[in-house]
């Protein structure tokens, strides 16, 4: 399989460096575009120079090495395979933190510039439904990934077979990124949502992309939670994690700690604001757009309003919902804006953690989903 819905499929095997080298060599043009677009975004969102971005990104190397040195080897492999500098790939894999650093700087400065940056935040929606609530008894997890439209040019579908005893993993995301949300061969899957506060970025912490890889490298749900817990995160973010044994938890990463939500009724949803009590912790403030509140509660309401058991098609339908358009769960681009300012649901996926099958919508989910069993391709 060379592609799914126009998104190139990349299969990487071996030790960390070998995985990274194949990743970078497979589509160096997409890795370069991913770096250049994200670099431009980081520079535009805050009062930072390219030299500052590089310095901060390289500063994350030691925290990542303490977290898992394999990840730095893999990033070096991506850089070598794509014919790029290691520092460029560290900027790319730290892009979430570098963008949040820009928001923090703007928050203390000119108000209208800050509101502009806030308006451009990602607006993802994540859903997990565990087996006691589903028609087939399977556990599902997925998300809509909302971002700038230029992200479409950077996507790959990456399947990784690791030789270090860790699970095989599969995800859709930007080329050059060490991990995004997806599923692994042990029946762990996740969805990720950006959060924002006025807290400073922890320059001694671990960037989001590496934490996502830590979740994907986990063999059970407890291990996945431990990959995020303990205040090791560099910036605030949310990761919803589900496991094939009918379990789902949501980890809201705060400054120096985490809030945990448990899906007691078999349904768990999340958008881009804090839900757990006491978070963000004092003296920091939750910074979010009103559409996050709507998407979080509407996705849960639509699922809980289904009579009887919930099907995979029901979940796909919720991801395709246009209630509160244009700021809906399924978001469409605003053509009145300049192209590089337009955002949309770039792709959507739902993972069946029991059968290890993924349904992927390579564009807006309302346009339909395709099926892939990634580990059958290994």
**Predicted local distance difference test score (pLDDT) of residue 4:** 97
- Residue 299 belongs to domain spanning: 3-13+121-377
Average pLDDT of the residues of the chain: 92
What average pLDDT does the segment 243-258 reach? 94
Whole-number pLDDT of residue 241: 98
Mean pLDDT on 32-43: 93
Identify the band that residue 45 occupies on the pLDDT scale cut at 50, 70 and 90. confident
- Length of the chain counted residue by residue: 378
Residues 6+ apart with CB under 8 A from 292: 123, 271, 272, 273
Tell whether the model's pLDDT for residue 116 goes beyond 60.
Answer: no
Please indicate, yes or no, if residue 184 is contained in any of the structural domains: yes
pLDDT of residue 68: 96
Please report whether residue 262 resides in a domain: yes
Burial of 314 (0-12, 13-18, 19+ CB in 10 A): middle
Please report the DSSP string for 242-292 in residue order: EETTTEEEEEEE-SSSEEEEE-TTSEEEE-SS--STT-SPTT--B---HHH
Q: What's 326's domain CATH number? A: 3.60.60.10
Please list, in sequence order, all residues whose beta carbon lies within 8 angstroms of the beta carbon of residue 90, skipping any fewer than 6 positions away. Answer: 54, 57, 58, 60, 61, 75
* 8 Å CB contact between 300 and 128: no
pLDDT band at 110 (very low <50, low <70, confident <90, very high): very low
Give the angle subtended at the CA of 370 by the CAs of 191 and 351, to the nearest 5°: 30
The number of domains in the chain is 1
Where would I find the H helices in 48-161?
50-59, 61-67, 69-82, 86-93, 95-107, 111-119
Give the three-class secondary structure for 240.
strand
Residue 91 in any domain: the answer is no
Is the CB of residue 106 less than 8 Å from the CB of residue 50?
no
- The pLDDT confidence band at residue 112, using thresholds 50, 70 and 90, is very low
Q: What CA–CA distance (Å, rounded) separates 344 from 331?
A: 5
Let me know if residue 33 belongs to a domain.
no
Instruction: Please list, in sequence order, all residues whose beta carbon lies within 8 angstroms of the beta carbon of residue 24, skipping any fewer than 6 positions away.
Output: 31, 77, 78, 79, 80, 81, 82, 83, 84, 176
In a domain, 207, yes or no: yes
**Cis-peptide into 273, omega within 30 deg:** no
Calpha distance 353→282 (Å, rounded): 37
Contact 283, 257 (CB under 8 A): no
pLDDT digits (tens, 9 = 90+) for 71-109: 999 999 999 999 999 999 999 999 999 988 766 565 554
Is 226 part of any domain?
A: yes
Whether 256 is in a domain gets the answer yes
Asked if residue 40 is part of any domain, the answer here is no
pLDDT in tens, 290-347: 899 999 999 999 999 999 999 999 999 999 999 999 999 999 999 998 888 899 999 9
């Amino acid at each position: 399989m060379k592609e799914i819905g126009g998104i190139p499929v990349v299969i990487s095997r071996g030790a960390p460096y070998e995985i990274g080298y194949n990743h970078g060599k497979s589509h160096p043009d997409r890795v370069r575009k991913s770096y250049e677009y994200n670099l431009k975004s980081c520079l535009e969102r805050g009062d930072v120079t390219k030299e500052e971005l590089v310095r901060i990104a390289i500063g994350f190397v030691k925290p990542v090495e303490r977290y898992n040195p394999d990840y730095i080897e893999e990033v070096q492999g991506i850089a070598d395979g794509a014919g790029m500098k290691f520092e460029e790939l560290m900027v790319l894999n730290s892009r979430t933190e570098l963008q949040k650093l820009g928001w923090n700087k703007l928050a203390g400065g000119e108000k209208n510039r800050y509101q502009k940056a806030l308006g451009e935040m990602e607006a993802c929606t994540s859903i997990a439904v565990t087996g006691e609530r589903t028609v087939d008894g399977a556990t599902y997890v997925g998300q809509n990934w909302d971002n700038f439209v230029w992200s479409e040019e950077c996507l790959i579908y990456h399947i990784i077979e690791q030789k270090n005893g860790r699970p095989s993993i599969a995800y859709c995301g930007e080329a050059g990124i060490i991990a995004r949300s997806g599923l692994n061969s042990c029946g762990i899957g996740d969805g990720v949502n950006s959060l924002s506060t006025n807290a400073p970025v922890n320059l001694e912490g671990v960037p989001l992309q590496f934490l996502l890889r830590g979740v994907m490298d986990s063999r059970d749900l407890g291990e996945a939670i431990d990959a995020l817990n303990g205040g090791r995160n560099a910036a605030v973010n949310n990761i919803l994690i589900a496991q094939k044994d009918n379990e789902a938890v949501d980890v809201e990463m705060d400054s120096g700690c985490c809030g945990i939500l448990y899906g007691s009724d078999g349904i768990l949803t999340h958008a881009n604001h804090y839900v757990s009590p006491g978070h963000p912790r004092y003296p920091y403030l939750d910074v979010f757009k009103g559409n996050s509140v709507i998407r979080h509660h509407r996705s849960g309401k639509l699922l809980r309003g289904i009579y009887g058991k919930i099907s995979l098609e029901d979940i796909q339908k919720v991801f395709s919902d246009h209630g509160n358009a244009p700021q809906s769960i399924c978001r469409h681009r605003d053509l009145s804006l300049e192209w590089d300012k337009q955002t949309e649901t770039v792709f959507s996926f739902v993972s069946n953690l029991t059968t290890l099958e993924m349904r992927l919508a390579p564009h807006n989910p309302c346009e339909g989903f395709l099926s892939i069993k990634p580990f059958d391709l290994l």
